[in-house]
Amino acid sequence: MRTVECPGLGRKVSTLGFGCASLGSRVSEAQGRRALAAAFERGVDWFDVAPEYGDGEAEAILGRFLIGRRDRVVLSLKIGRRLVSISPAARLLRPLARRLARLFPEFLGEFPLTRTASLRPPLEADEIEASLAESLARLRTDHVDVLVLDDPSPEDCVSDAMQKALRRILDKGYARAVAISGAPEAIVAGAAASDLFQIAQFRDSPFEQAADRLRAAIAGGARPTFVTHGIFGGGVFDRVLRLLGSDGGRLAALASQLGYGPPYLVNELLLDYAFANNPDGVVLASMSNLTHIELNCARASNPPRDDVAPFVVKYIVEGRS
């Protein structure tokens, strides 16, 4: 597994991170624990979680997995939203949702019980520490490595009250570094206002190119370590798949010249793009089965390619011939 230096933590970390959003909802605890172990054994040491992930179950599942491993991982915790309670009926129906997902994968995106409620009121600055304490109990640890302010506004990032609350958490040893996860505008505002935010987490794909915009916007100073996600989500995978098959295979033939081909052409191309576009940071991926874990870890073990991003931008994003 390739590693990168994370100055905010003073250590090297795996360039591939494990996104825990599905633990306990789309993925059962048993399957999730197997996936966590498989990724960890292959060198993944960055684990990203939030109180609401897995309908509130992911933290506890990850905490049980980390027993005996805590000192060998980077625990990144998103915080900033109140945990929404899930009804007993919804919890009982989770196994049915997972069975439907296996039988009808296209149905899962429409199944409401696998989603975290979207209307969650934001936490105020004076609530952050109490919420963190609850998460630490579920995670069975006394600190997180990265405390991630989840989806803040630019105003939140420059707020004196918010910054004081976060610095107090650092001073008490409850976290070793603080990050922003959200829109580029919030990340830029936070980076301009303070050296507090040493890590920035955001969606990035060939169609968003947020990493390029942030590199340009934060040029000249100490840039935060980037943690990117969403390379397969938001319709990106399906969009690239359609484009590769839309011209009689010409584009797929061009990709084959770079070494990409069936059965995982799209997966490998997008993963390589993600690592190439964030060569000094971490790329998060949700991983639930061994095939995908092995594929992700194999791509993460390679040096970033300098030919894949220009190819993707030219032929897939811009559609040039």
Q: What is the pLDDT of residue 84?
A: 54
pLDDT digits 0-9 by tens, 137-191? 999 999 999 999 999 999 999 999 999 999 999 999 999 999 999 999 999 999 9
- The pLDDT of residue 138: 97
pLDDT above 50 (res 117) = no
Which of 125, 126, 114, 143 shows the shortest CA–CA distance to 56?
A: 114
Going by the DSSP 8-state scheme, the letter that residue 2 receives in this structure is -
Q: Is pLDDT above 70 for 100?
A: no
Q: Taking CA 269 as the corner, what is the angle to CA 265 and CA 271, rounded to the nearest 5 degrees?
A: 120
pLDDT tens digits along 289-303:
999 999 999 999 999
**What was the pLDDT predicted at 219?**
75
Instruction: Provide the whole-model pTM.
Output: 0.88
Segment 102-123 shows an average pLDDT of: 46
Q: What is the pLDDT of residues 54-87, one digit of tens each?
A: 989 999 999 999 999 999 999 999 997 655 555 5
Give residue 89's pLDDT. 56
Token pair 């900033």 is found at 80
| Nearest residue to 266 via CA among 277, 276, 255 | 255
Average pLDDT, the chain: 88
Q: What is the pLDDT of residues 201-215, one digit of tens each?
A: 999 999 999 999 999
Domain boundaries, the chain: 3-84+120-235+278-305
Question: How far apart are alpha carbons 195 and 60 in whole angstroms?
Answer: 32
Average pLDDT, integer, range 304-317: 93
Q: What per-residue confidence (pLDDT) applies to 98? A: 46
- 3-state secondary structure at position 65: helix
Q: Does domain 3-84+120-235+278-305 have CATH number 3.30.70.80?
A: no
- Alpha carbons 231 and 241: distance in angstroms, whole number: 13
Residue 283 contacts residue 228 (beta carbons within 8 Å):
yes
